A and B are shown apart, each in its own frame.
Chain A
Amino acid sequence: IAGITQAPTSQILAAGRRMTLRCTQDMRHNAMYWYRQDLGLGLRLIHYSNTAGTTGKGEVPDGYSVSRANTDDFPLTLASAVPSQTSVYFCASSEGQGIGEQFFGPGTRLTVL
């Protein structure tokens, strides 16, 4: 593994289903982030974690939850998917907490029908 990996690459999901997007980094970065990217709206922060064991809400947290049990993994869960959650999801990490270069994963394209 080099950098950040995300899984799955893409997913089609029926509304109401539960889905977990996976994110793993091997850079030992303290901070990790989840963004969604929609056409014309840019990247919007969903949740973040400054360090293992802590999480915080970003701009658009409703309908999503996260956990940070260890430094490397930061899964994003949609408890009951809705069509408005159709988007491209990016995970990122940084050495500093909210400061400095963020390294992004390749993204997960999620379609909720």
Chain B
Amino acid sequence: SQKIEQNSEALNIQEGKTATLTCNYTNYSPAYLQWYRQDPGRGPVFLLLIRENEKEKRKERLKVTFDTTLKQSLFHITASQPADSATYLCEISSGSARQLTFGSGTQLTVLP
């Protein structure tokens, strides 16, 4: 069955630095990959979607890459701020609802 792993449970970085989060998957060929942000006690909020034929996607301070050869996505937050502190989730899908799979998330803390 497909498996998805996010690099670490927790990541601490200094304000102003670039945070890089990793999402690896196995036994799967997703059509697209998405990143969500989740704050404590709340539901996830969509950030970015990248398709299998796209190498990179940007939105303001966010950048996502998708390497189907390495079976990996990298999520970058540049010029990080304490307000970026949250848990970030990646999700993969083939386009079928039945195969939606989330990673367990990485908790990012940006220190002032």
Rounded to whole Å, the gap between the CB of B24 and the closest CB of chain A is: 14
Rounded to whole Å, the gap between the CB of A48 and the closest CB of chain B is: 4
Proximity string of chain B (94-110) to chain A, C-beta cutoff 8 Å, 1 when within and 0 when not: 11111111111100000
Rounded to whole Å, the gap between the CB of A22 and the closest CB of chain B is: 15
Q: How large is the interface on B (under 10, 10 to 19, 20 to 34, 35 or more residues)?
A: 20 to 34
Q: How far is the CA of A67 from the CA of B49 in the complex (A)?
A: 29
Q: A98-B96, A98-B98, A101-B34 are in contact. Are A42 and B46 (CB under 8 A)?
A: no
Q: How far is the CA of A102 from the CA of B97 in the complex (A)?
A: 11
Say which residue of A42, A50, A103, A106 sits within 8 Å of B104 (CB atoms). Answer: A42
Which A residues from 1 to 36 make CB contacts under 8 A with B?
4, 31, 33, 35
Q: A42-B105, A98-B93, A100-B49 are in contact. Are A106 and B100 (CB under 8 A)?
A: no
Which A residues from 44 to 65 make CB contacts under 8 A with B?
44-45, 48, 50, 56-59
Residue tally, chain A, CB below 8 Å to B = 29
Q: How far is the CA of A30 from the CA of B30 in the complex (A)?
A: 22
Q: Which residues of B contact A74 (CB under 8 A)?
A: none
Q: Check B21 for interface membership: any CB of A closer than 8 A.
A: no
Q: Which residues of A contact B28 (CB under 8 A)?
A: none
Say which residue of B43, B91, B93, B105 sits within 8 Å of A106 (CB atoms). Answer: B43
Interfacial residues, chain B to chain A (CB-CB below 8 A): 9, 31-32, 34, 41-46, 49, 89, 91, 93-105
